[in-house]
Structure 1
Amino acid sequence: MEQEKYAIIDIGSNTIRLVIYTRDKSGRFSESENVKAVARLRNYLTDDLTLSEEGITVLIDTLKSFQEVTRHHQLEAIKCVATAAVRQAENQETIIQRVGEETDFTMRILSEYEEAHYGYLAVVNSMSYKEGITVDIGGGSTELTLFEGRELIHFHSFPFGALSLKKQFIEGDTPKKSELKALREFIESQFLSLDWIEGKNLPLIGIGGSARNLAQIHQEQIDYPLSGVHQYTMKRKDVEETNKWLGSMDFDELQRVEGLSRDRADIIIPAVEVFNCLMELIDAELFALSRKGLRDGVFYEEMTKDFEMPVFPNVIEESFYDLAIDYDINLTHAIHVTNSALMIVRELVDEGFLELSESDHRWVRLGSSMYNLGSYIDSESSNQHTFYLLANRTIDGLLHKERIIVALLASYKNKNLFKRNAALYEDWYTEEELDKFNIMGAVIKFAYSLNATKRDIVKDIQIESKKEELVFSIQCREDWKPEQYQVEKQKKHLEKLLKKTITVDFHE
């Protein structure tokens, strides 16, 4: 059966990229091909802002190479968009005409607003932040947006990017002290022209290749234990220290930095200076990386064109629905396990055995809904597979630290396995938090055993605390003997953690 495919060509000032999306079995499109060419079109803009014949040739040749790929995949739904390098060119009409005549593509030049808006769309549809400031530094422009309540409030596009800053302020491959001083003063004066960023104390969300490289460099520096950079966070001092470290190197050293693409070695310092300056002005304590950017924003707009708003109502719910489809999770069963787990934690809180925040209740819901997901691969070792899959898969809307919590709960088997899984991440959480997650995981395992036959028989759960005993009163719709057998096997995990004998009383 032929798969539905859709493609976007993003003609940037530094790179040109072709991304192909394929509809998966959940019904949503996911990235299946990603082809990149470092064209550096911004360097072909002359002093009178004309894209030179050499630059147009580079563009056409790159598009022709992409054309071979799109023809191979028999793609018809292709969006081809261009940003600052072409937008700033005085001969943009000639460029559009040449592209139309010499390639299969019809090129559309994005306005400053469109470029900023697509970056904003990518962030709010793939991250859980309700408010923040986004920065997308390309080769020839830098877009900032401010969003509150997940709505775009302000945007601005500056006519400078990492390539143009390098060209304007830095003569060699790396900056001298005087060049760096001039660069910083220029960046600061430009950002201070906006009256809506200073002192906002919001997270700064970085979009694009330079932001991604910054995150990758930091991950390599600290031997980060997880894969993936989407939703990776750094503190302000981390950005400052990485900026100083990069600035202390000569060009040969920069080219060998792990996590830094060789084609960005000469422009990474101007880009990180932009992030560093913005964090100071905003008074941002957190830098978060969005791997989703302009292309994804264009894609989200296309995919939500029949919606009233091009913003998903709940990013995490969308992500977990996709997980459920991908791993053939029985949604009715998952909902029932979740309801039972929430009833049990509610009773344990009332009896004084647990103190849970609103976030903790969310982790119980998410961990329950994904419990035993790894049985999709192998039922005998489903716990290990569950932890690995959830810990290492990007889940839009969940920060890395939150992803590990859900992985620990959804993969819970016993206290020892929990400790082994948590070992690499122990310094991410307090001892009290880990103890609490341990109990929450044991509750989810207990709740899962209450629906062992997937008949959804549990109606209500009450807990009464007696001297050395906890009495679980389980009200059922029909015969409970198979569930009773499983519960008697599994209750020992909760008994050890709560330091109480558990008696389970089933009744209609």
Structure 2
Amino acid sequence: MLDNIGIIDMGSNSVRLILVKVNHDMSFRLMEEHKESIRLGDGFTENMTLKPHKIEAALKTMRMFKRLCDAQNVTKILAVATAAVRKAQNGIELIDRIKAETGIDMKVISGEEEAHLDFIAVSSSLSIKDALILDIGGGSFELIWMENRLKKESVSIPIGSIDFAEQFNVKDPLSKNEEQKILSFISNHLKSIPWLENAKNLPLIGVGGTLRNIGKIDMLRRKYPLDIIHGYEVPLSGFNFIYKEIKNLEISDKRSFPGLSSDRADIFIGSLALVKSIIDFTKSTSLIISGKGVREGLFYSFLKDKNIIIDNPLLLSLENTGKNMGLDMVHMFQVRKLTKRLFEDLKEIHKIHEDIDKIIDASTILHDSGIIINYYNHHRNSFFVILNSQVNGLTHRELVMSAYIASFHRKNKSYEDFETYKLLIDERDIEIIKIVSVLLRIAESLDKSMSSVVSDLYCEIEKDKVLIKISAKEYPELEINDAITAYSQFKKVFKRSMVII
């Protein structure tokens, strides 16, 4: 083990901790997470100081987090405080007391630094190139314009969900007048951001508890088949439905609204109004939820300081997942290479012109991941492992397709019913799954000994057959014999016989 790292984010609404184990090969795994909703930024005194009982709650939480870190042999703690502490006149006093009572050096970060950490978290865990990123906290909100995976512009506005609750009556149903006041208030702030006028017609990526809660509500409403918030896309029609429903509810009904966190119910509508205003102002094309924020931004920054390159979130995530599972990564990447060779050479007959590169990457690199459960029927286990391994950089559709492809890699059928995931995949996707799974099965067979004896291949397409010509260090009898077992599956899909020479 290289490090056990504790990462703490003290926000205006909650204090959160994650514990991450980092190994000598720089693979990493989330070991623990914890959240305390203390509402540190709720009700400053007249002279903008944190209230004594809120300070005590923060100190109690930090002492508890320090004990948890000690129990888990944490070697490094990265801790930051955001809007509530940076706004407070006595914020530094709290930081000093945290240091004195726990030994934790907590840094008060600026709004611009907070926005940058959000950008690092999103760009390191989603494969989207161009987007507008929104982080709503209790005491501020951040907007980041990402273009070609680079931070183009960013801003931090010192107003958050707690501020909306204090300035407007958001506990009761919103009257037309009250709704107009809050939307106008937000609109004036958005108009003051000079570059926002040019950041239009982009996906809106939402960071923070409010956005995650929007996603959870919509997932329940749609009976979504996956329990994965990161990368979840909320249909704009779904968001508008949630906004209209919740703005008309009494506080008691909000607390029992399916999916809405009860400790957020009294401040939720102000944040919903902010999301609605930004979607309308920038003509957002979609709303995508990020499960990664400031804490993950701190961790990815730590990795970058260790010279870990995160240009491709998916490959970083796949390699990390494979290492954590103890997979033979040389074999995994060889199977990926051979599958891609087959896919490219057979385009004339499979006629897949969509970009499915990420699907091939995930299904091939993790095709053996089910072995972590049991070797027998591991292809079936791989389906569940891939769906639940928290792979970053895939859409949910791509994740499901990758899991299905991996589940076919030893037999002609998957054990899972396509109907279960009909919200995510259609008939064309199922056709692609069946085609690519044949290619994966052949490629895996051609590295049966896991020794890369078949170094490369190319295909020749004839009227009634496909010749797969292999380059090998020695005659690969084991590999060819195993690949031939896919003959009937290949012929069914491609309407040609398969010959390996």
Q: TM-score, normalization: structure 1? A: 0.92
When residues 59 and 340 of structure 1 are mapped into structure 2, their CA distance, relative to the original with a 3 A threshold, is closer
Q: How far 1:413 sits from its partner (Å)? A: 4.3
CA contact (8 A) 1:408 1:421 kept: no
Listed as ranges, the matches of 1:4-43 within 5 Å are: 4-24=3-23, 27-43=26-42
CA contact (8 A) 2:3 2:74 kept: no
Structure 1 position 319 matched with structure 2 position 336: no
Structure 1 position 191 matched with structure 2 position 187: no
Between the aligned partners of 1:117 and 1:331, the Cα distance in structure 2 is 33
**Aligned equivalent of 1:155:** 154
Stretches of 4+ aligned residues off by more than 6 angstroms: none
Between 1:21-30 and 1:189-198, the stretch displaced more is 21-30
Between the aligned partners of 1:251 and 1:120, the Cα distance in structure 2 is 34
Q: Deviations over 1:174-212 (max 9, x none)?
A: 433322221111111111111222361111111111111
Secondary structure at 1:145 match in 2: strand
Between 1:29-38 and 1:220-229, the stretch displaced more is 29-38
Structure 1: which amino acid aligns with 2:310? F
CA contact (8 A) 1:26 1:326 kept: no
Secondary structure at 1:94 match in 2: helix
Structure 1 position 125 matched with structure 2 position 87: no
Q: How far 1:44 sits from its partner (Å)? A: 3.4
**Aligned equivalent of 1:299:** 299
When residues 78 and 340 of structure 1 are mapped into structure 2, their CA distance, relative to the original with a 3 A threshold, is closer
When residues 464 and 299 of structure 1 are mapped into structure 2, their CA distance, relative to the original with a 3 A threshold, is closer
CA contact (8 A) 1:414 1:442 kept: no
Between the aligned partners of 1:114 and 1:459, the Cα distance in structure 2 is 47
**Aligned equivalent of 2:222:** 222
Listed as ranges, the matches of 1:300-379 within 5 Å are: 300-307=300-307, 312-349=310-347, 352-357=348-353, 359-379=355-375
Between 1:264-273 and 1:332-341, the stretch displaced more is 332-341
CA contact (8 A) 2:3 2:75 kept: no
Q: How far 1:92 sits from its partner (Å)? A: 2.6
How many residue pairs are counted as aligned between the two chains? 500
Structure 1 position 275 matched with structure 2 position 275: yes
Listed as ranges, the matches of 1:101-500 within 5 Å are: 101-170=100-169, 172-198=171-197, 200-307=200-307, 312-349=310-347, 352-357=348-353, 359-413=355-409, 417-418=413-414, 420-500=416-496
When residues 453 and 155 of structure 1 are mapped into structure 2, their CA distance, relative to the original with a 3 A threshold, is same
Between 1:61-70 and 1:446-455, the stretch displaced more is 61-70
Secondary structure at 1:298 match in 2: helix
- The percent identity for this pair of structures is 27
When residues 237 and 196 of structure 1 are mapped into structure 2, their CA distance, relative to the original with a 3 A threshold, is farther
Q: Deviations over 1:456-498 (max 9, x none)?
A: 2334534444443333334433123222321222211111112
When residues 44 and 28 of structure 1 are mapped into structure 2, their CA distance, relative to the original with a 3 A threshold, is farther
Structure 1: which amino acid aligns with 2:156? S
Secondary structure at 2:159 match in 1: coil
**Aligned equivalent of 1:82:** 81
Structure 2: which amino acid aligns with 1:342? K
Between the aligned partners of 2:4 and 2:135, the Cα distance in structure 1 is 27
When residues 376 and 57 of structure 1 are mapped into structure 2, their CA distance, relative to the original with a 3 A threshold, is closer
Q: Deviations over 1:331-382 (max 9, x none)?
A: 2222332222222222222xx3122336224433432222232123222211
Q: TM-score, normalization: structure 2? A: 0.93
Between the aligned partners of 1:353 and 1:435, the Cα distance in structure 2 is 13
Secondary structure at 2:288 match in 1: strand
When residues 482 and 173 of structure 1 are mapped into structure 2, their CA distance, relative to the original with a 3 A threshold, is same
Q: How far 1:164 sits from its partner (Å)? A: 0.8
CA contact (8 A) 2:86 2:108 kept: yes
